Amino acid sequence: WTRQPNSATAARAMPGPKGQKRHPTVEDHVTIYAGATIVGGETVIGAHSTVGANVFLMHSVPPHSLVLYEEVNVKVLDKQQR
């Protein structure tokens, strides 16, 4: 999904404190890949940034940023040989 200038974003309506901004600000020409989660009313995604797939983002990023999810090392062990 790429946000172009003046495009609308949709969010599920949920009750929240009155007068507080609940959704992040996505500036112009930002690309957000599948599975990315961006939360927080104070969070700003700077213009011309890219947010990679499966990223969980809770803070602002400056313009022209690339935000990536780096996989955590996962071990798969044979339970019979432990």
Q: Convert the pLDDT of each residue in 24-70 to its tens digit.
A: 999 999 999 999 999 999 999 999 999 999 999 999 999 999 999 88
**What pTM was estimated for this model as a whole?**
0.68
Please report the pLDDT score of residue 46 as a whole number.
95
Tell me how far apart the alpha carbons of residues 52 and 60 are, in angstroms, rounded to a whole number: 15
Confidence of residue 13 (pLDDT cuts 50, 70, 90): low
Tell me how far apart the alpha carbons of residues 61 and 78 are, in angstroms, rounded to a whole number: 41
Please report the pLDDT score of residue 19 as a whole number.
77
Please report the pLDDT score of residue 12 as a whole number.
54
Please report the pLDDT score of residue 77 as a whole number.
72
Name, in order, each residue with C-beta under 8 angstroms of 13's C-beta and a sequence gap of 6 or more: none
